[in-house]
Amino acid sequence: MNEFEKFDILSVSERALKRKKEGKYVVNGSSGTLYYENGEIVSYKEADNYLISNFNKFLSYGPQLGPKEYKDGFLSWIFEEDLLRLKQNKNIAFTSSSGGTEALFIAFKSLAKTHTILLSSIRWPNYDTICEEANIKFEIFNFFTKDFKFDFIDLEDKINKINNKKILLIINDPCQNPTGFNFTSEDYDRLFSLINKYNDKITLLLDLAYLDYSSSRKMIIKKIVDAPIKTPLYLAISASKSFGYYGLRMGALIVLFSKNEKDIYSENFKKIIRGTISSSNHLANGGLGLFFKDLKAVEKVKVEIFSQTERLLKLGEGIKEILKEKNIKFYPYSSGFYITFIKENAPLYLSYLESKNIFFTLIDETTIRIAISSLKESDLAYLKENL
């Protein structure tokens, strides 16, 4: 077993669980699952009730792109008061998906013949796997400058070096996995300006998996709705992440495109879905579609999600203070499930932490990810003493 296999999420979680069964106090910062302080997975009963009570209604095959109630409801959930303006300015192609991962796969697969993917140097490792399965080549640009700003200069340099194909640029924002970095409003303006500079060479895909747990949610949605870019804008969304249904895969791939352009996307999406999972997850998006129609229930869940977002921010700020006190450098964290710090010989340090019953995951030889989402407030004091 190499170092990366030893410190991947499954291996680390297994060791943490074993140590916990031995009666030890364990800080398990490995899982990208959101937990309450009592150790239970965060979920929202107003949504749960619709899925559970309507189980038998949605055992049939579902429409390939998802039921209308799911599409309409999810679009309203995402864009809120900006949806009407979006519909006035753009056409919308929509397909339900088995989580954010399948949304990404559908996008990658549909553009594989004509595009090269451009990924950031610090990224969710599964992007690489999805590229391999979708048979699409990818290139890497540097994510951060030396002063921890988004590296637009290296991004443009890599764009200029890709000559033979168009580019699908992947930006995981907000709450970038694994750093918790968020684009500013100015970053979005610069990004859109860069895309337009190259006419139709660059297509942007925003991976919005953590949108609902971001401190900049409203700003991002307004930027998306008003995006001045000429090329189609792809959005990968994870309802599984938003609602705590990690094992019940649900999400969406959305394409926003010009009113003057025909929908060339939906039929392609249907073909990919037909050749992979056959049809949408009717059990998942059927029940959630009914939930979306209950506006009082929707509002209650939004309030609860905001509360969890605030709790994550508090935990994140606590971790940042500990890292500063220990003189450990970390990447910019604004909100979300993760924070990532820098440590020479990271595998050796992770082994040391595990001797103290602290479990994190390895990003590379000098980078370690803490899953704030799986921590409790009581863990902060233990980390302050043992980190």
95 contacts 272 by C-beta, under 8 angstroms: no
Residue 5 has pLDDT above 80, yes or no: no
Give the pLDDT band of residue 13 (cuts 50, 70, 90): confident
Average pLDDT on 264-281 reads 91
The predicted pLDDT at position 164 comes to 81
Residue 119 has pLDDT above 80, yes or no: yes
Return the minimum-mean-pLDDT range out of 216-225, 275-284, 322-331, 358-367.
Answer: 275-284
336 contacts 210 by C-beta, under 8 angstroms: yes
Give the pLDDT band of residue 302 (cuts 50, 70, 90): very high
The predicted pLDDT at position 4 comes to 66
The predicted pLDDT at position 140 comes to 98
In the chain, % of residues over pLDDT 70: 99
In the chain, % of residues over pLDDT 90: 90
Cβ neighbors of 51 (< 8 A, separation 6 or more) are 245, 248, 283, 284, 287, 288, 291
Paired with 233 in beta bridges are 204, 256
pLDDT digits (tens, 9 = 90+) for 148-179: 999 999 999 999 999 888 999 999 999 999 99
Is the C-alpha dihedral spanning 170, 158, 125, 266 positive or negative? positive
Is the C-alpha dihedral spanning 115, 167, 146, 181 positive or negative? negative
The predicted pLDDT at position 1 comes to 58
240 contacts 253 by C-beta, under 8 angstroms: no
52 contacts 290 by C-beta, under 8 angstroms: no
